[in-house]
Each structure stands twice: as C-alpha cells, then as structure tokens.
C-alpha cells in the first residue's frame, strides 16, 4: 500500500518525534526527580541562586557564542542534501569556531565577574564563583558544537542518546552534592553538569569521519564569516531572550526578594522544561528538515502545517492535564512551599498553545535566511513581553507574570503570522486553522472550569475530550502504530 503524501509527512514527523520523545521521557523523569530533590535540599532561596547563576551564564554564552548553535545547523542541513562532502567540511569548520567563541566567552565572563557579583548581589562576595563558572561558557559552547553536528547531519538516535545519558549522569553527580553541601554545591554542580554533558555529546560524535581542518585562526574566521555574521544576528535574539530573563530576575529580586525569584524560576522550569520538552523534541528534526526544503515553498508550507497539527495533537492534552492537576503537580514536583505559584503556572500553560503556533512560523522566517527580518520579529516580541511582565508583576505579583506570558504569546503568534504571510505568502491550511481554534477552545474552557469557576468535573471532562481527539488524530496519522508495537509479543 502506498502512503499518501500527507501521511508520509506525518509519519516522518512521527518517526523523529518518537526517537527524540522516547529519550526525552527519560530526561523528563530525571528532571522531575532532580527538581524534587533540589526543592527539598535547597528550598526557594537555593532555586533563586541557581536561577541567577544560570541566567547569567546563558546571557554571556549567547552574547559571545555568535549563534553557531542555529546558523551552523542551517548550513550543515542545506549542504547535507546537495553536497555531503561540503557538509562535512562545514562540520570541521564549526569544530574550530566553537573553540574560538568558547574561549572568547570564558575570558569575557572572567573580566566581568566582579561587576556581575556587585550588580546582582550588591557585593563582590560572588566574584570567585563567577570566575569558576566561566569555564561553563567554554564547555557549553563545545557541547553546542557537538549537538549542532548531530542535528545538522540528522543523527537523530545519537543526539537523543547524548541528551538522555547526559541528563542521567548529571543527576547522579549533582544530587549527592546538594544533599551533602547544600547551597555551597551550586557552583561546582553547575560546572560538573556542563562537563558531563560535553563528554556525552563528544562520545556520540566520535564515529563521524570529519576531514582535518588545517586552516589558521584568520583563515577560519574568513571562511566562517557568512556563518558567523548570520549567527551574530541570531545571537542577538538569544541575547534579547536571556536579557529579558535576567532583567526580570533582577527586578523580581529587588521588588519581591530572592524567594520570589526562586518561585518564578521553578514555575517556569515546570513550563519550559516539562512542557518545553515537546518543543525541544520537535525542533531537533523540524529545523534541519525545514532548512533542507526551504527553496520549495509548497513543501515548506506543507511541512509547517503538518508540524503544527502534530504539535497540537501532542501538547493539547498535556496542557489540560497541567491545568486540571495544577496544585497536585506543584506539590509532587516541588513541595507545599511552592504552591504560591499555581496561578502563574495556570496562566502560562494557557499561553503555551499560542507559543506552539508562533514557534512553527518563526522557524520558517529563520530558515528563509533574512536575518534582519528574523531579528526584527524576535526583538519586538521580547521588548513587548518584557514590559508587559514588569508591569503585571508590579501590580499582580507572580500571577501577573503568568498573565503576561499568556498575553505575550498571543501577541507573538499574531505578529509572526502576519509577518510570515506578508513577507513570504505563508498560509495556514484549513485543517490547521480549524485545529488551532478547536484546541484553543478546549484548553481555554478547561482553564475556565478548573481555575476560574473551580468546577473540577468539567475540567476532567474536557481533559478526557482532549485525550480522545488526540488519540484519534494520532491514529489517523499512523503514530499509534509505534505505541501499539510496544505491547505486541515478539
């Protein structure tokens, strides 16, 4: 039997999702345990410190990393389909460039350490902590280089295994340190976790036969200039995002205290790690796949619509689940002390459906290669959501941050759709447009039932309806055959 074109696209998406999703389930379970133990051993203040350190590392790393984690994937994926040898030459070049940018970031971080300590904590007591953490900048950049290679060449199983084993080993090393030394273990644990992730990513790239790169420093920069320039533009968007997180954390600390930072951080860990896992799983193959088809408008539009429908099918029941069991999940994953953030999480969960809509289209703008347009789209959204978050936190505390997240992604989804339609003629298919409306209605009613009027029966009913719709949709796509195969006898 010959598969229809639509079903073959869905099956390709489903295959990639299955490979990354199965490993991410393990990563998720590890993160659940890790989050729980950190909540017990460190409390909200410990979470606040981890949040401030990680947001600073991410900000400096994105500033000095030249966006190679994105621009290199695009180049490798494009060449992979047309000139595999050229693709491997690009891989060889990327391996050199991540060393240069990593070392640059490390020394830049060291130079800023006294300033960062004084600016964030009001004293220079944490200067040496930042100096030690500077090595994470280099290590993380090298890890990004390995991940770029696996993603661009679509070595899906190796990338999935690297992520999974890195998470497990990071957990094994970190939790005993938190138990024995409490907050004193935060800095060495962040460094150790970075190093473990690098070793695992390095292990899974060992079989890739890459030609030796004999280019000098200057020659590498000249040859990598297009990639670095594109990456520089893209890194600006990452800087904007991390700067937003950094500014919010500082504002919350000055306004509400470090405990509020801990609640904010842990709440968005739940949103960005547990729900964000879906985006992470899909992006591992969606971006390089889209990049390889970018010169065929019909194929890219078809892939985008199918990816959106598939994403909604997977994520909508999870959103309803998070809304209905909001309080229980907070206690299970953190502790009773963290229940103050339950309304913030509920509003943010509601906004996640619009995050998915904007996510599929923003990758389309990115792969088109017009960096200025991509930066314009991202920058305007970041500025709007940052201002919104500060205003709503000031008036409504943590709940305001959730509302700002919800409104921000509605704005971002509308803006991205209008721009992708105006610039490139992108159109939602009738099926995807209808599916967006249907799932938005179900998730919205679930939120209204469980959070606003607190009629739990209706919330459970809507969760059940969402699960049924997603099951029959996945069955139609052929995705359930993967699930059923697990339970069949060999």
What would the DSSP string read from start to end of 373-401? HHHHHHHHHHHHHHHHHHHHHHHHHHHHH
Q: Evaluate whether 323 touches 451 at the Cβ level (below 8 Å).
A: yes
- Dist. CA 341–CA 338, nearest whole Å: 6
Q: Give which of 88, 74, 80, 9 is closest to 291, Cα–Cα.
A: 74
The token pair that represents 360 in the structure block: 């599929």
Q: Domain map of the chain by residue range?
A: 26-236, 293-483
Among 348, 452, 359, 453, CA closest to 407: 348
Closest by CA position to 315, among listed 53, 323, 191: 323
Helical segments of 325-369, H only: 326-333, 342-367
Residue 278 CA to residue 342 CA, distance in Å, equals 21
Is the pTM higher than 0.75? The answer reads: no
- Side-chain-side CA neighbours of 166 within 13 Å: the count stands at 24
Question: pLDDT per position in the chain (490 positions), as tens?
Answer: 334 455 566 666 666 666 656 666 677 677 777 777 877 788 777 877 887 888 788 878 877 888 777 777 777 776 666 666 666 777 888 888 889 999 999 999 999 999 999 988 888 888 999 999 999 999 999 988 888 888 777 676 777 777 777 778 878 888 888 888 888 888 998 898 888 888 888 888 877 776 676 778 787 888 877 777 777 776 777 777 777 878 888 888 888 887 888 788 778 777 876 677 677 666 666 777 777 777 777 888 888 888 888 889 989 999 999 999 988 888 877 777 778 888 999 999 999 999 988 888 888 887 776 777 888 888 888 899 999 999 999 999 999 999 999 999 999 999 999 988 888 888 888 988 999 999 999 999 999 999 999 998 999 999 999 999 998 888 777 665 555 554 454 4
Copy the structure tokens of residue 156: 């899906």
Tokens encoding 98:
């991540």
């Amino acid at each position: 039997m010959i598969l229809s074109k639509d079903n073959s696209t869905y099956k390709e998406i489903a295959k990639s999702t299955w490979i990354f999703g199965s490993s991410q389930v393990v990563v998720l379970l590890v993160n659940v345990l890790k989050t729980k133990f950190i909540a017990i051993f460190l409390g909200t203040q410990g979470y606040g410190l981890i949040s401030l350190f990680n947001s600073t590392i991410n900000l400096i790393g994105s500033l000095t990393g030249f966006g190679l984690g994105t621009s290199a994937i695009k180049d490798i994926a494009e060449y992979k389909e047309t000139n595999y040898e050229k693709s491997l030459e690009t891989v060889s070049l990327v391996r050199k460039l991540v060393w240069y940018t990593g070392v640059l970031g490390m020394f830049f971080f060291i130079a800023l350490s006294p300033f960062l300590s004084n600016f964030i904590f009001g004293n220079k007591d944490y200067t040496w902590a930042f100096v030690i953490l500077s090595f994470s900048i280099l290590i993380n950049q090298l890890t990004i280089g390995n991940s770029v290679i696996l993603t661009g060449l679509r070595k899906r199983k190796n990338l999935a295994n690297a992520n999974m084993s890195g998470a497990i080993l990071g957990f094994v090393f970190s939790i005993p340190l938190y138990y024995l030394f409490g907050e004193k273990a935060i800095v060495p644990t962040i460094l150790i976790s970075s190093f473990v992730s690098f070793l695992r990513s390095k292990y899974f790239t060992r079989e890739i036969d890459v030609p030796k790169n004999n280019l000098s420093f200057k020659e590498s920069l000249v040859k990598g200039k297009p990639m670095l320039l594109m990456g520089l533009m893209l890194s600006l968007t990452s800087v904007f995002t991390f700067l937003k997180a950094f500014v919010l954390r500082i504002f919350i600390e000055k306004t509400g205290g470090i405990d509020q930072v801990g609640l904010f951080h842990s709440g968005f860990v739940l949103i960005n790690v547990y729900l964000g896992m879906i985006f992470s799983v899909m992006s591992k193959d969606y971006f390089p796949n889209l990049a390889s088809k970018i010169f065929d408008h019909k194929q890219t539009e078809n892939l985008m619509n199918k990816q959106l429908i598939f994403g909604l099918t997977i994520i909508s029941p999870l959103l309803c689940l998070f809304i209905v069991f909001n309080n229980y999940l907070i206690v299970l994953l953190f502790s009773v002390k963290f229940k103050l953030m339950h309304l913030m999480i509920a509003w943010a969960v509601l906004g996640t459906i619009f995050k998915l809509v904007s996510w599929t289209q923003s990758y389309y703008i990115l792969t088109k290669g017009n960096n200025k347009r991509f930066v314009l789209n991202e920058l305007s959204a970041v500025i709007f959501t940052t201002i919104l978050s500060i205003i709503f936190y000031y008036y409504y505390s943590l709940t305001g941050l959730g509302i700002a997240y919800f409104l921000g992604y509605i704005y971002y989804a509308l803006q991205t759709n209008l721009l992708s339609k105006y610039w490139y003629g992108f159109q939602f298919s009738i099926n995807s447009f209808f599916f967006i409306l249907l799932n938005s209605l179900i998730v919205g009613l679930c939120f209204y039932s469980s959070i606003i009027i607190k009629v739990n029966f209706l919330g459970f009913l809507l969760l059940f309806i969402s699960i049924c719709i997603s099951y029959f949709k996945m069955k139609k796509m052929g995705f359930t055959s993967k699930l059923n195969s697990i339970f069949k006898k060999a």
